[in-house]
A = this chain, B = another copy of it.
Amino acid sequence: MTNPILVEVLRSTLVESRHRGAVAVADADGGAVLAIGDVTTPIFPRSAVKALQALPLVETGAAAAFGFGDEELALACASHSGEPGHVAGVTGMLAKAGLDAAALRCGAHWPIAQPALVELARTGQPSALHNNCSGKHAGFLCVACAKGIDHADYWRPQHPVQREVRAVLENLTGAALSDDRCAIDGCSVPTWAIPLQNLAYGFAKFATGRGLAPERARAAARLRAACTQRPWHVAGTGRFCTEIMQLFGARVFVKTGAEGVYCGALPEQGFGIAVKCDDGAGRAAQAIMAALIARFLPLGDAERVALAHFMHPTLRNWKGFEVGSLRVVDGNLQPPV
């Protein structure tokens, strides 16, 4: 099936580019609240499921054993910008487990946010700590250390930590994860393809704890609280995930993934959300997620204005002139009148 156009990019008044995609919103019983486009073909959720991948860190007692607070748990769920506070936080997580950056197997890259890149370039070089996934990797390492398992190969699909992550993803999403739909993520851990409708179902359970064993439900609530109370640690200065969770607090959890993926949880509504843009465009996935929040949450005036800014951002050029805009175009993504 051909997914519909969900976002248009305008230059002046003409459509310059367009983004197709699919959206699933589900409740914790697996009921479909909204389905746009193909929600049954497995897609790679990439970093959008980091909060689910972090459940073993809490459930196993590793986070408690190392005395992790909200900031450290938020970093375990993060695609962070590599700002100094993120790097210090991940360094601290590793130190509590008796480790340092040498244990990380995520690879090094320059910070994903340009201001952080410029700041680092002035004083140094990126290390694995600056990798946007370093908090997630620190979390995996801490699980291995707390269990007394050799941590050297913590990133490989057959390592006990990744096998546990796989079992958690299957339990949450209800999807059978298949070796022939497993690929390697940017940070080298496995990423399993999962249908959007199952991802939405998994995030509805993450949002509510419904259908989860008591310990898992508590771990989900703990991670949601950490991320929504420390949203800067989940992304970084000026980033969508951070700004949305700063705005809505515990009412909204959102997490971006590479190649145009977004997942989210609306605890008050009991809904989970999963978005994938066909072409991998993050700018479109973000606008769609803003539109979904506007559609499903009762909003105050300030919240409505802030969301409109993300749904229909003005595009400016290098001189600051207004040159165009983005707009969400699918009728199913419009807020109630």
Contacts and interface: CB of A to CB of B under 8 A. Distances in A.
B188 A321 contact: yes
Interface stretch (A55-63, A105-113, A143-151, A240-248): A105-113
Nearest to A3: B18
Interface string A177-192: 0001111111110010
A88 interface: no
Contacts of A2: 2
Contacts of A108: 318
A118 interface: yes
Contacts of A319: 105-107, 188
Interface stretch (A163-171, A267-275, A276-284): A276-284
Copies of chain A in the complex: 2
A134 to B, nearest CB: 11
Given A106-B318, A121-B117, A318-B108, A44 B184 contact: no
A259 interface: yes
16 contacts: A9-B280, A12-B184, A14-B181, A17-B277, A20-B279, A107-B317, A107-B320, A109-B318, A114-B117, A117-B117, A117-B118, A185-B317, A187-B318, A279-B279, A279-B281, A279-B284
B260 A17 contact: yes
A19 to B, nearest CB: 5
Contact of A183 (B11, B17, B20): B11
Interface of A: 2, 9, 11-14, 16-20, 42-44, 105-110, 114, 117-118, 121-122, 131, 180-188, 191, 193, 259-260, 277-281, 284, 317-321, 323-324
Contact of A11 (B105, B106, B117, B191): B191
Contacts of A14: 42, 44, 181, 183, 193
What are the 9 closest A-B residue pairs judged by CB atoms, nearest first?
A107-B318, A12-B183, A121-B121, A17-B280, A279-B279, A107-B319, A11-B183, A118-B121, A184-B323
Contacts of A188: 317-319, 321
Nearest to A283: B280
A117 B70 CA distance: 34
A260 B106 CA distance: 30
Given A16-B43, A17-B260, A18-B278, 10 more contacts: A11-B184, A12-B184, A13-B180, A17-B279, A107-B317, A117-B117, A117-B121, A188-B321, A279-B281, A280-B281
Nearest to A131: B318
A19 B17 CA distance: 12
Contacts of A187: 317-318
Given A188-B317, A318-B131, A323 B183 contact: yes
Contacts of A117: 114, 117-118, 121
